[in-house]
Homo-oligomer: A and B are copies of this chain.
Amino acid sequence: MAGQRTAGTKPGDFCAQCGVRNQAVCAPLDIDELAVVESFRSGVRAVPAGAELFAQGEVNTRVYTLLEGWAMLYETLEDGRRQIMEFCLPGAFLGFQIDPERPIAYTAQAISDIRVCTFPRKGLEELFHEKPDMSFRMACIATREQNFAFQHLTSVGRRTAQERVANLLLELFLRIRLTSPDGAGHAIRLPLTQEHIGDALGLTSVHVNRTLRALREDGILTVRDGVLRIMDADRLVEIAGYDPKVHEPRT
């Protein structure tokens, strides 16, 4: 599958062979333009699970495209309560803010070991200016992200614990399915703890645990050893309140 990669290179080393190019901000660029981007970027960086890409309150001088692995964005309150905004998969564009001087409101942390493509924040405007398609692409991405944040908000604000968990797991299942090359089974790798799930959904980890038990006992799904297995997709879709007409697929 890595046939056209030069031996010894890893995904992201060359833009032209980038595995997430079509999901990322770079999608509208042609091969020649990629060369410009490639010379602009700072390079590819590996970040171990648990490390932060940037932290709430910092002024952030880089932006990132996630190449491999899972990351998350979260905000913490002074007393330690945490809200995870989003789980990020390859292709995600992270850390962009309008005002580069303003401290960023949330933290980005690697959940698994990840690899990111790094750009200096400085000069981004100019790059977007030279490549207006990237601006438009960027607007599209941000608009989509806003839509996902809206859906997430609806879950947290108005659904029961069971509905929230069902909704999130279904969403993650579909996102992974869309991008990952491996098989068409009813199971995916899910590198999240129950605390991650709780912090994303506004629940405690112990309530997530009980909810997952109920879902398992009802024969709907299981989460075991970091793999999510869907047993009864129809009922899952129903509980999750998932509507394929409005719920836009997501990478």
Q: A98, B144: Cβ atoms under 8 Å?
A: yes
**Closest-CB distance, A154 to chain B (whole angstroms):** 4
Find A153's partner among B85, B96, B241 (CB 8 Å cutoff): B85
Interface stretch of the complex, out of A128-136, A174-182, A214-222: A128-136
How distant is the Cα of A107 from the Cα of B167 in the complex, in angstroms? 21
Chain B residue with Cβ nearest A131: B132
In the complex, chain A residues 136-186 whose Cβ is within 8 Å of any chain B Cβ: 136, 138-140, 142-147, 149-154, 156-159
Find A83's partner among B99, B147, B153, B202 (CB 8 Å cutoff): B153
Chain B residue with Cβ nearest A128: B136
User: How many residues does chain A have at the interface if contact means C-beta atoms less than 8 Å apart?
Assistant: 51
Find A248's partner among B99, B154, B202 (CB 8 Å cutoff): B99
How distant is the Cα of A139 from the Cα of B133 in the complex, in angstroms? 11
Query: Which of A56, A102, A143, A153 has the most chain B CB atoms closer than 10 A to its own CB?
Result: A153
Q: Does A52 make an interface contact (CB < 8 A)?
A: no
Find A105's partner among B73, B99, B106, B150 (CB 8 Å cutoff): B150
Which residues from B are CB-within-8-Å of A156? 153, 156-157, 202
Q: A158, B246: Cβ atoms under 8 Å?
A: no
Which residues from B are CB-within-8-Å of A159? 77, 81
Find A245's partner among B57, B132, B135, B150 (CB 8 Å cutoff): B57
Chain B residue with Cβ nearest A136: B135
Q: Does A29 make an interface contact (CB < 8 A)?
A: no
**Closest-CB distance, A182 to chain B (whole angstroms):** 28
**Closest-CB distance, A247 to chain B (whole angstroms):** 7
Q: Apart from A57-B246, A105-B151, A129-B136, what 12 extra A-B contacts exist at CB < 8 Å?
A: A56-B246, A75-B150, A97-B143, A103-B246, A132-B135, A132-B136, A135-B136, A142-B146, A145-B146, A146-B146, A152-B153, A156-B157
21 contacting pairs across A/B (C-beta < 8 A):
A73-B150, A77-B159, A77-B241, A78-B241, A81-B159, A85-B150, A85-B154, A97-B143, A97-B147, A103-B246, A105-B150, A128-B139, A129-B136, A139-B142, A142-B142, A142-B143, A146-B149, A149-B149, A156-B202, A157-B202, A158-B202
**Which residues of A line the B interface, CB within 8 A?**
56-57, 73, 75, 77-78, 81-83, 85, 96-99, 102-106, 125, 128-129, 132, 135-136, 138-140, 142-147, 149-154, 156-159, 201-202, 241, 245-248
